[in-house]
Structure 1
């Protein structure tokens, strides 16, 4: 028997919204968690990122809260600001235009967040450091909270925020529904569950399989101060790319990258939650028909992109969890075919790469970003093929008279070279003429494998500066608005 979102107890309007986003069948963690949370039971879910846990906890909350109420009714804690932004974006997609979701984390104006809280907002997603800061300033009131979610609790533990989580939980009502999702269950998380959850239902899902061997995985280490788009352009020039997805963290990034790639002549479009159903269907059909070569999308939006025969998956932004990485690259190399998975790695992303390598049980050797000579050699080789094909074409005869006329004054070889140069220059993207050659020294340095250090928990002169340092630390530890 096939389990549907409707059979889990969700409303018709919610089910219709999910179907419009391409969600047809719930994942295992969604099947287990949604009915329990709708019944207001506390839940402990042992589940990796990429298994659909965001929908597992957010859909029941959306069914229960009053979107018009001004008091905070639901609080979702995440270890990093990037994950907080991802969760907020997903909830906005799952919800409706009348629901306001506030993301509270570092890297954003706290004054703006305070003004939003003063106007009233029913749902808050945030990092422990910023939530504590707002609580200390008496700007965040959790006295009417009915739902609390701890997302990736073990990551919050490893980053040193477990005491902050406990402090936050103590300021919420006892009569609340609490969900704790964690990939692993160390003793400290078990203790937290025992102290703050009421007779929770424990759920677990099977771990995804490792990445298939038929997928070629490559990582590109970016020199310091290099933007990812600067590295991506020569990489794309060298790839025999048929169809691919470029994964980013946020909708804003998807729009920016799409615009830049389109300006450089790439056949690319963006796919995100702001598109209506008709727009989504048309884009997917164009992608399947080969009218679009590349689609830039977030993980949430890409769920609606069920396209076969992808030759490439590109991790423009690495995911926070190895399971999501495996899920992403598993979109290529299907049905016995081979595929290519490329990842762009900035210095702050290296700990994420180490996490992925540990999960895969292997190291992914870094590849060198193509040089100007590499790209120009590839383009000239393509131009040679085009000339060879044209020499057998029927229209060539119409240009021979022009060559004969010019031959009275110029050498025929010079005429041919000038024509090729014109074609090459006109087809060259603007970035090819800019200074972008790769510093070779960056690729000779091995990746240092150091253990993650816990954030400095020393006292500071005020809570604002303490929160600021935490958020800087977290941004280093986990480098998607959109």
Structure 2
């Protein structure tokens, strides 16, 4: 059994109670070491693995390691926190299950690894893959909302070594004392960007209160790393390294350019599907004409989105009212033409959406430049028909843009995303409900059961869910405050970066300006405030 290299010897909290102290942050350091695949990083091979892990690969039917596994495992097994760019189907589950398998003590009936995922489907998928890899050495339990607690509680009672679940349901079990995290040795965020998009950030912070006081090795996997994901890393990780697998497939701290091919008719409905799935925190939606602006903004507002349109025909008072909301960050979706948008800057804009490509290719660059500023990442989405797709491909070649084509979300995809989001929000609301209100609502439990049994009455429940969900469309999900310090990316050379060494030397040589000035006794360098 290998010793957990992350335990710093501090005594963990007892009885799984949440800490009343400030949770451990990223060691007071926000530096992220960038690890590029072509920098000579020693990759793991099948032959280098210990027998325990080779047996796990054999159970899964793998004859070699996938790139994400070969490149990340040396870092993870070395005891470092790691952020990995990863797309679905890249083999990332094996990348974190295999290294932590060595750390699992099968004789200790306690949770030793926690995997947070955004959806119940992914929880089931990751749990299944983990079960295959660990075999009889460890017990894996998947927990997620929308189902009863019974079977999940039975899994905890049997001694769940690896728990995979959505943050909301994990928090529910912690609140009910069904399990605790005092023996935790590894924390994994799988698809971190999607978890934040759904609205799990408050639940993730609540789960953090139940973490041991000692440091826990943490790994983060995400397709993109916008500023709020980087901030999340700063709140949970200690001097993490970042592994970039392929800049052609995933992007870190830069703008991702995406096209969706849509039919010529019904473009506005396609736009709503995309917004529903992407769930942007803030977006600029560009149209080529004033008529389009008025139509699109009206459709979005009628659907329930916090959207408004900006054209040159607006009165000065109306225009100023919209701009005030833009400056305050309280308007989520702004629809505009290029002319009307001149001089308007939305801070921390997460998305630029083009209802159709601009007539002038240069305008595309100007529109796209409104996101991904100050080192943060953003996304530029363009809706295209067949002919416009060809035009966009030529534009991408001219400006050397890596253009990603995505399939239009299906009705089933939209239903699934909306269901996951509303379930997470409702469960969070229920957890925060005062005891007196919980007691009061019990009078409606028999009615809820009756409505659920009657197929004709299901429309009433659907209506209530829809009304609640529509209210959430007026505000973006709560996210880490990106105005706080976020991890910075630095190239790795095998030694401490020269800039860091030189900075330390300068600090040593620097004399205080006023040696007689008394210290305030406050040092906020490691503060999360």
- Provide TM-score, normalisation by structure 1: 0.45
- Provide TM-score, normalisation by structure 2: 0.41
- Structure with the higher helix share, 1 or 2: 1
